[in-house]
A = this chain, B = another copy of it.
């Protein structure tokens, strides 16, 4: 399903570079990472990067494209398949996000927020493509959230428009990213998670692994 098998060595190299760049851009922003660093972190020659990507910006776009979808899958698919209950899915999402951020915050002392939106905020003004790609991912998240909202409404826990509620849930999640990043407190993510659970009518559900 979400597994890509790369036939050629070139494709593997390309994916590897994207993956390394994604990590670096996430941690230290697009402008904070030099192409040299990407090259040495990926253990390829700098010219190799330019063989696969026209630009540093083109690399960023590739990051947004490939890792955006991958991240989404990781977050949303993790619990979806098994748990059908909407509150469990929502709690799972927040649990996952919180875990990742809390761990990284312990290691590096910083909260990094949503990698895709981060890049989009930094590059969106110059690169409409990045912004559009990020918007696409944003919309996918909203769709997932709307499903959760729909199920919660169906379960009689919430009322109103599932799509509107889905959008609110999504915005709240992104607000949580911003809030956690600015305050350097990953627990802000949990706050948003709890508020989200309340919003879909499950105030009592806890966010735990």
Given A32-B125, A131-B182: A171 and B172 within 8 A (CB)? Answer: yes
**Interface of chain A residues 174 through 202 with chain B (CB within 8 A):** 174-179, 181-184, 188, 191-192, 194-195, 198-199
- Tell whether, in the assembled complex, residue A167 and residue B191 are in contact, meaning their CB atoms are under 8 Å apart: yes
A138 nearest in chain B by CB position: B182
A94 to chain B, nearest CB (A): 13
Residues on B with C-beta less than 8 A from A86 are: none
Number of this chain's copies in the complex? 4
A31 within 8 A of B: yes
- Tell whether, in the assembled complex, residue B170 and residue A135 are in contact, meaning their CB atoms are under 8 Å apart: no
A155 within 8 A of B: no
**Set B110, B182, B184, B195: member contacting A168, Cβ < 8 A:** B195
How many residues in A have their beta carbons less than 8 Å from beta carbons of B? 45
Residues on B with C-beta less than 8 A from A122 are: 29, 31, 121-122
Residues on B with C-beta less than 8 A from A92 are: none
Residues on B with C-beta less than 8 A from A113 are: 121
Instruction: Fill in one digit per residue for A87-128: 1 if any B CB lies within 8 Å of its CB, else 0.
Output: 000000000000000000000001001000110111011100
A95 to chain B, nearest CB (A): 18
Residues on B with C-beta less than 8 A from A29 are: 122, 125
